[in-house]
Structure 1
Amino acid sequence: MQTEQVTGKRPCVGINAHLLSGEAGYRRAGIHQYIFQVLRHLPQGEGDPDYLVFTNQGDVTAGKAGMTAVSTRLNTSSRLRRILWEQFIWPLQARRHGVDLLHSMAFVTPLLSRRTAVVTIYDLSFMHYPKQFPASQRRYLTTMTRQSCRRARRIIAISQSSRQDVHQFFNVPPDRIDVVLPGVDEVYRPLPEETVRTFRREKGLGRFILHVGTLQPRKNIPVLLNAFANLPPSDLKLALVGGKGWLYEEIFTQVKKLSIEERVLFTGYVPDAELPLWYNAAELLVFPSVYEGFGMPVVEAMACGTPVIASNASSLPEAAGEAGLLFAPDNAAELTDR
């Protein structure tokens, strides 16, 4: 283990940031981005606590006063090893460094620790759609998230929808659940027209509809494909921006079945710095998910000035507000009409 010793007598908050990913790919979406932005914007003024960030991505704390990275020799990119660290090693590290408060940034607190804990819950997709998760992962998340929510001093949800889910599934009193909505990074903004034209030219893009998200079942991409295939003939294309997640084979099968291979662009994972360009270049963003903890692509697209059509499921009406058009996620015909 490598660390710098935090000095001073200020309260010390220990943050589990082991879900930060150092590799390009779909794991840098979603939770990674939320953790990264929280660390980036934590207050660091006089009277604020010291932060110990438990992660093997030590560069996230570089140059930040009052924030120190604590690493481990264990390679926590593996789910099993990450669980072992989380449940057995983290409590020992926290005690050694005099941590006063543990913040578990993703679902689960260390049950062996007696320290005061806060836990962030992004969504309960493993409760709503259990068949879309491997059995062992589903059982672990269900059991440990329930126990963590019951033991934690406070619970952070990222939308009112997620707050209601935690209350409904785990019987946690609503007054113990705080909603902290994700913010939008300042890089998501309208870009100069020449910059956007250059991007389109470099990528060989014409007019296109955009979807941003990991290829996985709850993104509901087959409904988007059906709606897109029913549009009148035109030069409009569909760009699916995001890496392969799991159970994505149906998407490629559907593209072939609808004979729209020449009209659908699979970009794979797109670097963070490139995403604002995709939003700016698109005619509109369509986000048909059946379930989301919040729905960051919706607000990122709107921040870039791009129109949004989203499903009316779970948290997405919160994200879209009055600025987006909504449709029923199982109704491809309604989406086509939009």
Structure 2
Amino acid sequence: MKILLEACRLVRVHDSGGIDALWQNLVLELLRQNQEALSDSGDGLEYVLFSAFLNPKHAHHLEKYRRLGATLRHWWMAPQWAEGMGRLGARSEWFAGNHDLLHISEPVWKLPTSGKIVVTFHDVMYRLYPQYLRPEWVDRLEKGTQDLVERATLWLCNSEHTRDQLCKHYGVPRGRTATMLVGVTEGFRLALGQEDRIAEIAGKLSLRNKRYFLFVGSVEPKKNLGVLLDAFSKALDSGTQADLVVAGRAGFGSEMVQAKVDGDPRLAERVQFTGFIDQKDLPFLVAGARCLVLPSRYEGFGIPVVEAMAAGTPVLCSDRGALPEVAGGAASLFDPDDVDGLAERLLSIDGDDALWEDLRRRGLERSEPFTWQRCAKDTLDAYRQAQQLSR
């Protein structure tokens, strides 16, 4: 079976996270497992990577995938040009040759194909909470999803919650859906107990306090940082010794969060924004935190939750979206609109070592199945399922 994989995300290595990091890790593991299959039995798949970009500096980022056996089909053009050609009738086969199955990293693909289409599906944020996203993103994803409802063979979802929402809001038959268990990079597990490296990264980031609550993610409205800041302020009133570290790039609407901190001298002293953290350093920042706090109003998965658990860091997260499913009873959940409730949880995790140890233990156990090996296996199962379906 010949598999065509969208490869533009594979060269987005600067400040990569979220879907980019997921796709890069998944493709690497698919290729590694394919090489093992070929070595053991001679029975494997043929992977082709289709990319389109203009900057020649990006090209070397694809070499590691080629060395793992992938065939590269690159076109020196902007991705938007390829999409435009698709609207004029150009097909995926024109760019990348014949293939049995096309797997794309999000629900946007303009080029027609004779192969079956598997879509990795992350959330329905743009349908449920469009006010939290840039209007152009909402328009692109909404149109792309509606188009692929009629074209895609199988939707590979990152949680049962996301799967249910896809079926509910877009009418996709459940028999055309599957789920995969998203992986956690092994660096988070290896960071556990590495006190010297944890201290080194804290120094590199100039953290003012070795005791800190940590938020990881883009600084944007959907992450609900305003409520976290209000809760942290109440925790300060009650004497918490921990600071709050906000680790992530400034996203859509981040200026409102920064203004809230700048307008309160005490928050300005006790809240630290680090910006985007390199993936090599992030596990140690997470492992050194008193807890991870994720107050999102909606998540289709919430990878920081399982990353923190794998690093031995207790988790406080909201009870919205897929977060209760992903946390699996191993996190302390809260209503994302309940400032007092979150403040109480911050104080409890800061001062109660028995609670801290219990959440740490449960989190480590919960994180065990979340590996890239399992994610790749789920993906291969989805390919086989798609081959049995019509369309």
Q: Establish whether TM, by shorter chain, passes 0.5.
A: yes
- Unaligned ranges ≥5, structure 1: 1-10
Q: How does 1:1-338 map to 2 (within 5 A)?
A: 11-25=1-15, 28-42=16-30, 43-44=33-34, 45-46=37-38, 47-55=43-51, 57-65=61-69, 67-76=70-79, 80-81=80-81, 83-84=83-84, 91-93=91-93, 97-110=97-110, 112-189=112-189, 190-205=192-207, 206-231=210-235, 232-259=238-265, 260-338=267-345
Query: Aligned partners of 1:59, 1:270: CA distance in 2, in Å?
Result: 24
8 Å Cα contact 2:108/2:140 also seen in 1: no
Query: Aligned partners of 1:265, 1:88: CA distance in 2, in Å?
Result: 49
Partner SS state of residue 138, structure 2? helix
- Structure with more contact order per residue of length (Cα contacts < 8 Å, sep ≥ 6): 2
Q: Which moved more, 1:184-193 or 1:280-289?
A: 184-193
Q: Structure 1 pair 82/222, CA: closer, same or farther in 2 (3 Å)?
A: farther
Please name the residue that 1:6 is paired with.
none
Query: Aligned partners of 1:237, 1:84: CA distance in 2, in Å?
Result: 49
Q: Structure 1 pair 21/58, CA: closer, same or farther in 2 (3 Å)?
A: closer
Q: Which moved more, 1:185-194 or 1:325-334?
A: 185-194
Q: Which moved more, 1:11-20 or 1:170-179?
A: 11-20
- Unaligned ranges ≥5, structure 2: 54-60, 346-391
Q: Which moved more, 1:195-204 or 1:307-316?
A: 195-204
Query: What's the Cα RMSD here?
Result: 2.1
Tell me how far 1:116 sits from its aligned partner. 1.4
C-alpha deviations, 1:41-74, integer Å up to 9, x for none?
1131232211111235423414202x12222211
Count of aligned pairs: 322
Give 1:52's aligned amino acid: V
Partner SS state of residue 20, structure 1? helix
Query: Aligned partners of 1:181, 1:308: CA distance in 2, in Å?
Result: 19
8 Å Cα contact 2:92/2:111 also seen in 1: no
8 Å Cα contact 2:154/2:177 also seen in 1: yes
Tell me how far 1:40 sits from its aligned partner. 1.2
Q: Structure 1 pair 274/160, CA: closer, same or farther in 2 (3 Å)?
A: same
Query: Aligned partners of 2:86, 2:197: CA distance in 1, in Å?
Result: 44
Give 1:32's aligned amino acid: D
Give 2:248's aligned amino acid: G
Q: Which moved more, 1:81-90 or 1:228-237?
A: 81-90
Tell me how far 1:200 sits from its aligned partner. 2.9
Please name the residue that 1:4 is paired with.
none
Q: Structure 1 pair 22/144, CA: closer, same or farther in 2 (3 Å)?
A: closer
C-alpha deviations, 1:209-236, integer Å up to 9, x for none?
1000011111111111111111123442
Give 1:34's aligned amino acid: L
Query: Aligned partners of 1:317, 1:87: CA distance in 2, in Å?
Result: 41
8 Å Cα contact 2:83/2:109 also seen in 1: no
Between structures 1 and 2, the one with greater helix share: 2
Identity %: 30
